Structure 1
Amino acid sequence: MTVSLDPAVDESPRNPATPLPRLIAVMLSSNVGALIALLTPLQLLLTLQTTRIAGDGAAAAFGVITGVGALFALVANPLAGRISDRTAARFGRRRTWILTGAIGGALAVFALGFTTEIWQVVIVWSITQTLFNFQQAATSALLADQVPPLRRGTVSGFIGLAAALGPLLGIAAVSAITDPLVQWGVIAVVSVVLGLLAVALLRDPQHVPAQGQAGLGLVELLKSFWLNPRKHPAFGWAWLVRFLITCAYASGTYNAFYLMDRFGIAPEAVGGAVLLLSLISVGLLAVTSVVAGPISDRLRRQKPFVVAAGVLAAGSLVLLALAPSLEIVYLAVGVLGVGTGLFFSIDSALCVRVLPSAENAGKDFAIINMANTIPQSFVPFIAPFLLAVGGFTALYVTLALFGILGALAVLRIPEIGWEGDSRWAQITRAVSPARVPVP
């Protein structure tokens, strides 16, 4: 007998307090604000800042800065999820940390403009990563808290749109500005305004802790970083899929160095070139993510979209590795944009479907988000070795292999409606059978 389960039976959000259109605006605004502050530096401003400070040693310094910052983000996101789950403030358990992260993170971003040594950049960037990860963890949990299961693909599409708009708006805002301090100030102001807008729109009822719930001691906080994949196999595979495919997409942080190294673009002109690449990628990402999410909801299929995303990422990276001209680079970045749109429009909905617990959605989703964060440290860690061995060709081909492995790994996760089938990894959250077809 094959048991087919319908996730909509079990997964209705407990507090759908915010109307869906308004909730989409909240998640889009909060995510765009945080990503402007995080991705604009990663794709442009940190490259320029390290070049001003370290000169010829900028590439190595950039790896240290982003690697250490990613480690702080890795720690902060699960802790933020756990703390957010347990916050009982009248202001709301998610709103409290969206507000805290947005204001604190914006101040840290502005402080980056005053750094004059690499060690200062490392410290301030780590603080920036920590604070915005609190904001992102609280925002991500809203997908499980308040979005109906059969609309999660649609909302995930707008999350993908945020991933597109963040760096595009950020780079567009600073590309015409020559004063570094003003560049950092603009990013800070835009990010905090969008965070405050999200807080103003969100309805977030006060959380009442379950009776007898343990306090947040050291042991509870340490549990924020681990969920046994043997006990929760579908969750484990979803984590691995996100990690592998995100490694492939992490190539974008090297766009500025790639253009300067491969095509000899001067540092003072690379901002405009990076902006053009972002426009190509983001335009296709935005269209793909907004279209693919509703299609996934209608078809009730997720895996084909993620498989396509991994394959397209691999193909685009091979094109970049072999690109003889900027025209091929534009083509490759366009393909990468389509793949990124497919992935981000579907992956969040897929991950929510395999969460082990509704009560700990913030913590569990934050563990999933570690698969976003670790590549920010892992890729800069392996990049210097790969660049030394075979330049950007070796780097991009290696990351293409990660994309293919991610596409294969998603095949282990059950499709919507087949969560009880023993042919795939099991989802361990309790669900109710919707239909039991007899063979």
Structure 2
Amino acid sequence: MTSLWRRAPSAPSTDEKHESARGVSLRRFVPAIMLSQLGVNMAVITQLQLLLALRLTTMVGEGPAATSAFGVVTGFGALCALVSSPIAGRISDRTRARLGRRRTWMLTGSLVLALVMVAMTVATTVWQVVLLWCLAQAAGNFQYAANNAIVADQVPPDRRGGVSGLVGLATAAGPILGVGLANAAPASGPAQWLIVAAAALTATLAAVLLFRDPPDTSPKPPLDLRALAGAFWFDPRRHPAFGWAWLVRFLIMCAYSASSYNTFFLMQHLGIPSARVGSVLVWAGLAGVLSIAGASVVAGYLSDAVGRQRPFVMLAGLLAAISLGLMATAGSLATVFVAVVLGGIGTGTFLAVDLALCVRLLPDAENAGKDMAIISVASALPQSLVPFAAPALLGVGGFPLLFLTLAVLALLGAAAVLRVPETGREKPGL
């Protein structure tokens, strides 16, 4: 059996990989990366936005007990995300499997996610849900790390904006498709989990078949505990621009992670019955995904055309703050839908540009998996940390305080991008 981490003689250079990604290969690559991103977001975010809330409400009842349980579950998931994401990237960089160093972990992560969702259907206590959600976070981070790294591996720099826009579209479409599928099944039943798990796994399987990811046979240092420990760190003094890019993503993703509380907001603040909340989320999701679709594609290609990224990130942060301000004052579904559309435009704009920005500032292109996994932590942590902190904010000022706090973080993220060098202005060591 082929060792995952054996040494071998040679591998294509980064330039050769980018050159091979042009033409026919890129035409295969784009639908493949979109399917993989669609699958992992369908599995992970659908749980955050709908399934976990419904499951915990069934266990402990509606009201503060459910929101507190949700915070405990996602808080432990945040710790798991913090640990697993850098390790996933480092392992992906060193993998020598015949399936390829990225495809191997896309498939493995998706399989484990599907099994976790099956196990969720028989969980009976909050702590069982905690353990399963931690496993789901780890599995999802292996797939996220592989998705991000393969973009750095194979997409030429002048095409990254357009590809990032399409990846952003798939990122947004995953949860709405997942919520739609879950809503088609009996409410709060096991079928909701099973249908989403099956769809997410199918999307990833199709992606793995489309990708061309030849085994990396270049010599690498051994993968030991020291190498794994190094996966958690980059030197911000040597690579300050990469550090600022991490902070920008973290702050703005904190704002957009407010959607993980939409189920509770609709039920507890607007009084939407639990039996109806799934359909409301589907319609709101459709409005959001249409906004994201237009914004992500347009912003991605405009960014490539004008050769600038910072203005798009600033616009995304501003739109996030406006959207959250509307949510803080929302007294009707009409206001919620306006907020969702504005937030969708901001999300699409951000997702279209941010991935290309982060890839451009990678400290080491040959260890893209490790460095992009560090960036992935900035995406994963808000999805869990915001619900973890939310009960305290809700206890003091309700949903208005929660949304306004996140709006401030969005504005800080928009300001922080000014510390990131614009395209073509990178200096050695940044």
Which bin holds the TM-score, normalised by the shorter protein? over 0.9
The 1:358/1:390 distance shift into structure 2, 3 A limit, reads same
Q: Secondary structure at the match of 1:360?
A: helix
**Counterpart amino acid of 1:43?**
Q
Residue of structure 1 aligned with 2:119, choices 111, 126, 147: 111
Would you say the 8 A contact 2:38–2:174 is kept in 1? yes
2:233 — aligned with what? 226
Q: TM-score normalized by structure 1?
A: 0.91
2:50 — aligned with what? 44
Would you say the 8 A contact 1:153–1:346 is kept in 2? yes
**Counterpart amino acid of 1:152?**
R
| 1:65 matches 2:68 | no
Residue of structure 1 aligned with 2:104, choices 92, 96, 102: 96
Q: Secondary structure at the match of 2:366?
A: coil
1:366 — aligned with what? 373
2:183 — aligned with what? 175
Would you say the 8 A contact 1:250–1:375 is kept in 2? yes
| 1:33 matches 2:39 | yes
CA offsets 1:196-236 (integer angstroms, 9 cap, x no match): 111101111111233xx321111110111111211210000
Residue of structure 2 aligned with 1:123, choices 110, 123, 131: 131
Quote how far apart the aligned CAs of 1:427 are: 4.8
Quote how far apart the aligned CAs of 1:376 are: 2.2
Would you say the 8 A contact 2:26–2:155 is kept in 1? yes
**Counterpart amino acid of 1:159?**
V
Q: Secondary structure at the match of 1:208?
A: coil
1:35-434 equivalent positions in 2, closer than 5 A? 35-56=41-62, 57-178=65-186, 180-210=189-219, 213-420=220-427, 427-428=429-430
2:17 — aligned with what? 14
**Counterpart amino acid of 1:206?**
P
Moved over 2 A (4+): 10-18
**Counterpart amino acid of 2:31?**
A
**Counterpart amino acid of 2:60?**
A
Would you say the 8 A contact 1:302–1:416 is kept in 2? yes
Q: Secondary structure at the match of 2:218?
A: coil
Quote how far apart the aligned CAs of 1:176 are: 2.2
Paired with 1:371 and 1:15, the residues of 2 have a C-alpha distance of 26
Would you say the 8 A contact 1:13–1:145 is kept in 2? no
Q: Secondary structure at the match of 1:14?
A: helix
Would you say the 8 A contact 1:14–1:145 is kept in 2? yes
Paired with 1:333 and 1:319, the residues of 2 have a C-alpha distance of 9
**Counterpart amino acid of 1:141?**
A
CA offsets 1:386-435 (integer angstroms, 9 cap, x no match): 10110001000000000000000001111111113xxxxx653xxxxxxx
Would you say the 8 A contact 1:158–1:345 is kept in 2? yes
Would you say the 8 A contact 1:17–1:203 is kept in 2? no
Would you say the 8 A contact 2:40–2:140 is kept in 1? yes
CA offsets 1:75-105 (integer angstroms, 9 cap, x no match): 1111111001011122211111111111121
Paired with 2:20 and 2:66, the residues of 1 have a C-alpha distance of 48
Gaps of at least 5 residues in structure 2 are: 1-12
Q: Secondary structure at the match of 2:231?
A: helix
Q: Secondary structure at the match of 2:141?
A: helix
**What is the aligned-residue RMSD (CA, Å)?**
1.4
